[in-house]
Each structure stands twice: as C-alpha cells, then as structure tokens.
Structure 1
C-alpha cells in the first residue's frame, strides 16, 4: 500500500513509499482509510523536532474510513462500519492526567497517512452521520484537545467570555466552534485579517490582530476581561494574556510554540486568583463526549484544502507557513 513515511534522508523529510502491514493482531481491525488530516505534530516530525522519531514510520494521527477486516476477539459488528480513529493510546485510568505510557498515533506507531491502518478496535468510534469522511478525518486530535481544554478544564457555560488565540489552526478552530455552540461570548486573535473576518462570520463577537501595538488595550475595552483564554503560544506574550483575564479567570494552554516565558507576572496571578492550566489531547472519556457534542450540535469542521498523497508536500508547506484556515485533509481512497 502507499503511505507517507518519515524519511530524514530525503530533502523534504518525508516520502511516499510502498509499505506492507503485518498480519492483524488479536483485538485489531483493518481500516480502509478514506481521508486523513495533518496536524502540527506531523510537521514537527518532518523537521526532526519531535521526540523519539524514527524513519519509516507512517505519519498521521487523524483519520476516518471503513472497517474491512477484523482480528481475533473483535466483534463482527465492526465489519463495514464507517469509523473515526481515536489517536490517543494508553491514556490510563486517571481522567486528570495521562499515564507515563501515553502515546499519540503516528509516532512512534504507524499512523493514518496510508491507504490502510491496523488499529485496536478500542480506538474506533462511529463516524457522525452528518459528516463526510473528509470532515470526520479533520476532527480527532484537534477536536478532543479543544474539547478537554474548554469543558474539562474551563468548565465553559453560556455567557462566559472566551478568548482563543491563533485562530486558523485546528484546535483554535474547534475551540471557537465549541464555545459558540454552548452560547459563550467568543473573541479570537490572529495576525490575518481574513481569519479574523472568518471568526466573526462564524459568530465570534470580535477579533484582535496580535501584531497591533495596542491590541491588549483594545481587547480590554471591548470585553472588560475574559473568563477563559485558550492559547498554544505562551512565550513572552503570556503576560499580555494574564492582563486580559478577569479575576478568577483561567489561562488554559495546550502548547508553547513561542517557548517558555522569560518572566511571568506572579503578583497578578495570586492577587487576581488566576489559574494557569496546561492540557494536552484527552482521555477516552473526553473523546467520547466530544463526539457526542459535535453530533448533537451538528458541528462541521472547517477544511482549508483537500488533496491526495501526491499533494502532501504542498500541504505541509502551507501548514509550515501558517497559511491555512482550517484543516488540511488528504484523500487516500
């Protein structure tokens, strides 16, 4: 079968290769991958910046397809079903935090950017009926990350004021859609006027260009402070975000693409009773709740581009430059 594998010997860091999968193990199924989506972790693997990377591993954490074959011990009812793959492995029994064995599909284990995948049946859920395979493939990793940030950590409810930074990326996109679905007052940041306009079209009350000199002051005037901020950048900008939190507010971050802050305004944190909460991916409970939520509210992922394996390099370059508005999807059918 054709698959997109990590190949650090190639000039681009990935290559399309013919790969033979082993026989199905007990508890596994063979899924014909219809569509898969890219995430930033795939790009970090391509650049050699992800821990434990290994050449020849099939990349990709997001995928949707049809179960074509089952292994020993798997219920025959799975045969022929349209499914989404849960990319979280070995979360463990503690809902509060992942276990030390936690892994994400696509590195170090073979992922979804291939014509087929062998995966434990426990990692499958039925594809929401209102979504196409392309839309369903865009959902898993970013969707569960956004859901856990907002609902498990943020306890979001109608009327809360939420700021989502970096609108345009997958997690930020879903965080915006989920927050709007529960009736929150949503604002976003981006350096792109087009992305800010898209957020407003979706229902956001406003957006701020974080490259503008006075954006923090403008955001305070327009919002009077936020109950929840969802961020993936951290870095030096974290103190600006702390200024924007209302008393008892929460800054929930799922990444640190700008690195660690050199200094942090500890006095503001303790005096205003603020919470800085890290989060990553989500448990099986989070994933199941997220699927129920998007089905109930008929949420449709925003897709920037659909291509095939031959267009993978172009899609990676687009993500590297931050030009996408929504998810980048590859059809593998």
Structure 2
C-alpha cells in the first residue's frame, strides 16, 4: 500500500511516499481504507521527534474512510485505550500515529472502538478533519469547562483547527465567542463562523482590549488557551471564570500572580484530547445543534505530505490542512 514514511526526524522533507506492507490482522481491530487524512500540529511534533516514535514510522492521527469488513463510512477516533476514568486517561493511553502506524496511508488498522460513523453531510475532507480537533475542543469546552448557553468564551488564536472548531461549537451552543489573532483578516473570518469579534494579540494591551468587549466589560466566563499565555489570559477572565489550557505553542512556562489568582476565584483546567465517551458526546452535539463542519483551508495529495507540513508550519492558514488519498 502507499504510505508517507518517516525514516528520520527533522524538517518536512523527511516525509517521503513509499510502498509498505498492508497492516496485519489483529483480533479486536479493524482495517479502514482511508479516503482522506488531516494534519494537526501534533503531527509536526511527531515528525520532529518529540514523541520518540519508532523509525521507520507512518504518522497521522486523523482520518476517514471505508471500514473494510462492513463497508461502513467511518471516521477514526485517534484516542487509544483512554480507560474507564472519565477525569483523566489511563497510563497506557496514546494517540494514534505516535507509536503505532497512523493515517498517512491508504490503510490503517485501529481498535474496533476507535471507529465512528461519518457525520451526515460531511465530505471526506471534513470528516477526516473532525476527530482530533473536535474531540479535543469538545472535552475542553464541555467536559472540562462546562460551557453553557448564554455564557461568553474567548479563544486565543483565530486560525487553527482548535480555534475554528471552538468558535463553531460555541456559536452552535448559543454562547458568545470572541477571538484573538495576528491579523484582522482572520478575525473577520472568525466572525463568519459565528464569533462576535476579536482583537489582534500584537497589541501589547490586547488582554484589556478584548476584556472590554466581553459582556458588561467584566471579562469572559471561559478562556481557551492553546498557546500558554496564562498571565494575559487570566486578565481577560471575569472573577470566578475558568481558564482551560490545552497547549503551549508560544510558552511552556507561565508565571502567575498567585494572590491575584485566588482572590479572583479563578479555575485553572488542564485538558487533552478526550476518549470514546467524549466522542459520543461530540456526535450527539452535532446531531442536536446546528454546528458548521470543520473549516478546510487547503487540500494536498497524500504524496505531497511534506508540502502540506511546510504549509501548516507557516501558520498563515485558516482552518484545517487535509491530505486526499484518492
């Protein structure tokens, strides 16, 4: 079968298309013939060696295609062995494509509980783009933060898959969403998804500016931070608000004013991609609310995975980068 293979860690050029053996049959696992896969920043970190993936390796967490044994149209749930504890993953939890062959291939083999029906009306590209960002965003906003209809949400960064998905989820739930971004163009595009507005984080005083846009100027009920700027994020929260952290793309250390934190009655919530039960909740949300499908920024052929990674790393896109497998 055709696959994108990583034989060394490094720049996008280390990703090369090759012919590799088809996955072996394993009891309790199913094979999916993939129609499309989607990239995440997580895949960049895998390529760079941050997760010590075995070499040679086929990366990729997200995908959608045809289940080989039943002919069903499915999406891949890339959360393996989450466990029974809803509050956190089990010690053996891993993300598909970290240590096991992933979705940048014509075929992928996953545990039977890690496939779910393709959402009605979704293209193959949209279906492939949903699982990781959809599952991560659903857990962050609803399982962890408990975002409710009528509340306010600030999403740090407007262009990535998590950000665009969070705005769509909030709008569909009847929450009021705002964003930060590096450009007015991305803020305008976030408005098209349902955001009420936003500010450019290039302004040194962006936290005060965006707080002034919140209901009553009191701050936001929830701030979703995938970049690691806790100090500024806390400044944008209302007293008693919830800061949900799911990334550290800009900073891995975050000093905070401890006294101000506890006097502000803030909640600090860490989160990751969720498990199968979160995905069930996500599909229920899509069934019961009017929520726009994932935004697709650009589609590349599978063999052009290196070019897709280069484009993703530029950070200039808006929405998801997808590989087509046809």
Structures share fold, TM-score greater than 0.5: yes
Shift of 1:298: 4.7
1:216 aligns with 2:207: yes
Counterpart position of 1:187: 178
Q: d(CA) in 1 for partners of 2:84 and 2:311?
A: 38
Gapped regions of structure 1 (runs ≥ 5): 70-78
1:13 shift after superposition: 2.4
Name the structure 1 match of 2:192: 201
Aligned length in residues:
321
| Greater Cα offset, 212-221 or 202-211 | 212-221
Partner of 1:16: 17
1:308 maps to what in 2? 301
RMSD: 1.4
Indicate whether 1:238 and 2:230 are aligned. yes
1:89-238 matches, within 5 Å, as 89-223=80-214, 224=217, 225-234=219-228, 237-238=229-230
Deviation at 1:102, TM superposition (A): 0.6
Quote the Cα distance in structure 2 between the aligned partners of 1:10 and 1:188: 32
**What pairs with 1:79-90 in structure 2 (closer than 5 Å)?**
79-90=70-81
Instruction: Indicate conservation of the 8 Å contact 1:145/1:281, yes or no.
Output: yes
The aligned counterpart of 2:62 is: 62
Contact 1:168 1:195 in 2 (8 A): yes
Question: Is the CA contact (8 Å cut-off) linking 1:13 and 1:47 kept in structure 2?
Answer: no
Gaps in structure 2 of 5+ consecutive residues: none
Change (3 A) 1:24 1:195: same
1:76 aligned partner? none
Aligned to 2:248: 256
Deviation at 1:220, TM superposition (A): 2.0
Shift of 1:261: 2.9
* CA deviation after TM superposition for structure 1 residue 51, in Å: 2.1
Question: For residue 46 of structure 2, what is the aligned residue in structure 1?
Answer: 45
Q: Is the deviation greater in 269-278 or in 290-299?
A: 290-299
Question: Residue 294 of structure 1 corresponds to which residue in structure 2?
Answer: 286
Answer with 54-63 or 3-12: which moved more: 3-12
**CA displacement at 1:10 relative to structure 2:** 7.7
Deviation for aligned residue 1:260: 2.8
- Asked whether the 8 Å contact 1:6–1:54 carries over to 2, the reply is no
Query: Structure 2: how far apart are the matches of 1:172 and 1:276?
Result: 19
Cα deviations by residue, 1:155-180 (Å, 9 ceiling, x for unpaired): 11111110001111111111111011
Report which stretch shifted further, 9-18 or 53-62: 9-18
Instruction: Write out the 4+ residue segments of structure 1 that deviate beyond 6 Å after TM superposition.
Output: none
Structure 2 Cα separation of the partners of residues 117 and 196 of structure 1: 37
| SS of residue matched to 2:85 | coil
For the 8 Å contact 2:34–2:105, the answer to whether it is kept is yes
Query: Which residue in 2 is equivalent to 1:33?
Result: 34
CA deviation after TM superposition for structure 1 residue 21, in Å: 2.3
Match of 2:316 in 1: 323
- Normalising by structure 1, we get a TM-score of 0.93
Q: Matches of 2:88 and 2:29 in 1, distance apart?
A: 26
1:73 maps to what in 2?
none
